[in-house]
Amino acid sequence: MDAQMTALFISAFVTFFVVIDPPGCAPIFASLTGGSPVSHRRSMALRSTLVASIILFSFAIFGEAFLGALGISLDAFRVAGGIMLFLIALEMVFEKRTERREHRAEDVKSHPEHEDISVFPMAIPMIAGPGSIASVMLLTSKSQGLTESLVVLGALAAVLLVNLGALLAAGPLMRVLGYRVEAMITRILGVVLAALAAQFVIDGVKASLL
């Protein structure tokens, strides 16, 4: 992999890592599966990652054609996606995103019939949410040629594997990190995401004016 492809992989990896936010998903997963046997927690982690992967890779491959069928330009989607990601970044910086996720977790826990948390709320919307869907479509639309597209998809697969590892190690990870460290990491990632979101908007506006 040459320097250009390496830079693309790192950029895509950072974007997906910030949006999917494995350090933020882990404590929610630990809360939802508290008291469950190890086999159940492992099953929920694997299933939620699989469902989210299917959703994200589907949008990565067919998302552009879907937008075309709706008559939406990629530049318009870049601007809209950038604004959406910026709002998510603000929520991360001010801890609103974590608070909303915790509310979803409490809602699921308050209904005992919801034993399978793999599809909701873990796969959708915590892993494959609006932000990650927008990110994967934005990055694949910017890719030039099959090689760059495969690099972006490889970065997505790598982040999903990291997220799977975070879910599988959620309990021990939270005991090591603690709430304060997790909150600090989330805020730092929020600042990075805000800058990336601003760049998406700038690229979309610039392309539409040329």
Average pLDDT by stretches of 10, the chain with 210 residues:
88 92 83 78 94 95 85 80 78 69 60 67 83 88 89 97 93 71 74 79 83
Which of 127, 130, 142 has its CA nearest to residue 78?
142
Return all residues near 148 (Cβ < 8 A) that are at least 6 apart.
5, 8
The alpha carbons of the chain give a radius of gyration, in whole angstroms, of: 17
Number of H helices, E strands in the chain: 8, 0
pTM over 0.85: no
Closest CA to 139 of 50, 24, 21, 9: 9
Tokens standing for 97?
A: 């995103």
Burial class (CB in 10 A: 0-12, 13-18, 19+), 192: middle
Confidence (pLDDT) at 103: 63
H/E stretch holding 180: helix 170-209
Q: Where are the domains of the chain?
A: 3-209
